[in-house]
A and B are shown apart, each in its own frame.
Chain A
């Protein structure tokens, strides 16, 4: 089942931006970075959030190889899911690599993929 029919403003806008090579994050007054949609900076409670360009390269901070997926990723498993840091923002994504090659500290770029199971868009990390 595809949920492509539902457009989530903020989230899908961000995926569009990534596909166009214009990935961004929302920066709070103290330099913390977040993903949209947000009206408030969780770190300070401030409503002053500014769009900033996401650094080209991020670094994998932790990862796992998912063997038992949700039904929406049935044909994609096994795959590596990672949390990577891009400057002040952290992002969760699927690593486009052989799961056995993924490691902490790996440099990655962020992109958008279509999953094998549903064809839905998903955040992907591509090793540098």
Chain B
């Protein structure tokens, strides 16, 4: 299968900018990606764009053409929605589009404006990723759903709040040098376990923040990159998407994420790699427990063993397999529609050697990104490899 080159990446700073419109956020990320790629906007043949709650946050549907216009791209533009996996899905579709030969240059990314809704409004908006009839009407919130998974995990495999706290501490530590991150500050285990509860056992510091932000990637065919002598050493070599039943209570497992198992298996097979080849991972840690489920689905840890990976130092920046060197959703922030593509942007920088945390993955060749929607009813995994 033809590999797809990541020619350029762009990210806004993630954080609270409630006054900034989605179109302005995406324009910044998109233009930065084009500049990074050295590709003119006139060369872009399509926009694949992820966004989740635009109707609720900005009263704005039909965002594809709006975002293309914002970056000066005159080409077909489509919005993809898969809750928090929206731009991960957009990337997967863009990769297929280049591979099938339809296009040579596409812009892909996502944006989300959330903080203008306030905490209550954003909580309500995020909840629409769950089953409205059978979950939301029974009082379920998004943190609540992951809390149900966390307690199920504790019951089945063990672990406790301090194990989860070690994940938050690790990801905050990783975010300190990342200027794109929402929280560039360290926290302690005590800060996490003593924080106000959101949905037990998940407290404020187990939860990703509410964020505004955008991400973008310029993807090209290998032929285009070579013809135009682009400096694009990182390729997407594998892509996979998985799905599951919508409501958590209808799933086979309450403490596992089979959709991500499927996505990982497909992405690894596509790339011709295995979990053992992975040097570094960016995973969807919307809540601390989510990082555990993600790593187990990716096969980086056995089921039931991911819970102690951070507390044992295995996934810290000095560990054998650094996870979320960007700071993750937890500390980098989670503007949901931007998150999936932002993971590939961060991974590209890590593998190219121009990320503030690249020093911790010197010599790394293979990275994996994991993006989840809802309580992992949608999951997208990508394998990225860098030319040595």
Contacts and interface: CB of A to CB of B under 8 A. Distances in A.
A and B: partners? yes
Interface of A: 8, 10-11, 34-35, 42, 61-74, 76, 79, 81-83, 90-94, 104, 115, 120-123
Nearest to B245: A42
A34 B133 CA distance: 13
A64 B200 contact: yes
A65 B141 CA distance: 11
A-B pairs with lowest CB-CB distance, top 10: A64-B147, A90-B249, A62-B152, A65-B200, A11-B133, A70-B124, A83-B249, A64-B199, A92-B138, A67-B197
Contacts of B197: 65, 67
A104 B155 contact: yes
B138 A70 contact: no
A58 B209 CA distance: 35
B196 A67 contact: yes
Interface of B: 119-121, 123-124, 127, 133-141, 143-144, 147-152, 155, 196-202, 245, 247-250, 254
Contacts of A115: 139
Contacts of A67: 196-200
Contacts of A81: 138-140, 144, 148
Given A63-B148, A70-B141, 20 more contacts: A11-B133, A35-B134, A61-B152, A62-B151, A64-B144, A67-B197, A68-B141, A69-B123, A70-B124, A71-B121, A71-B124, A73-B139, A74-B120, A76-B139, A83-B148, A83-B248, A91-B249, A92-B248, A121-B137, A122-B139
Contact of A65 (B124, B133, B155, B199): B199
Residue among A8, A72, A79 with the highest chain B CB neighbour number at 10 A:
A72
A49 to B, nearest CB: 14
Contacts of A10: 133
Given A65-B197, A71-B121, A92-B135, A34 B250 contact: yes
B147 A120 contact: no
Contacts of A63: 148, 151
A10 B121 CA distance: 28
A65 to B, nearest CB: 4
Contact of A123 (B120, B137, B201): B137
Majority secondary structure, B binding face: helix
Contacts of B138: 81, 92-94, 122-123
Nearest to B120: A71
Contact of B120 (A11, A42, A70): A70
Contacts of A71: 120-121, 123-124
A93 B380 CA distance: 30
Given A62-B148, A64-B148, A67-B197, A83 B139 contact: no
Given A76-B139, A81-B144, A64 B134 contact: no
A92 B124 contact: no
A93 B119 CA distance: 23
A68 B151 CA distance: 17
B141 A66 contact: yes
Contacts of A62: 148-149, 151-152, 155, 254
A74 B141 CA distance: 12
B247 A92 contact: yes
A68 B254 contact: no
Contact of B144 (A66, A76, A93, A121): A66
B206 to A, nearest CB: 12
A39 to B, nearest CB: 15
B127 A70 contact: yes
B193 to A, nearest CB: 15
Contacts of A70: 120, 123-124, 127, 136, 139, 141
A77 to B, nearest CB: 8
Given A62-B254, A64-B147, A68-B141, A92 B134 contact: yes
A72 B199 CA distance: 16
Nearest to B150: A64
Nearest to A123: B138
Residue among B136, B196, B200 with the highest chain A CB neighbour number at 10 A:
B200
Contacts of B124: 70-72
Residue among B137, B201, B202 with the highest chain A CB neighbour number at 10 A:
B137
Contacts of B155: 62, 104
A35 B124 CA distance: 23
Nearest to A15: B137
A65 B196 CA distance: 12
Contacts of A93: 138
Contacts of A66: 139-141, 143-144, 147, 199
A42 B251 CA distance: 10
B128 to A, nearest CB: 10
Nearest to A8: B133
A11 B134 contact: yes
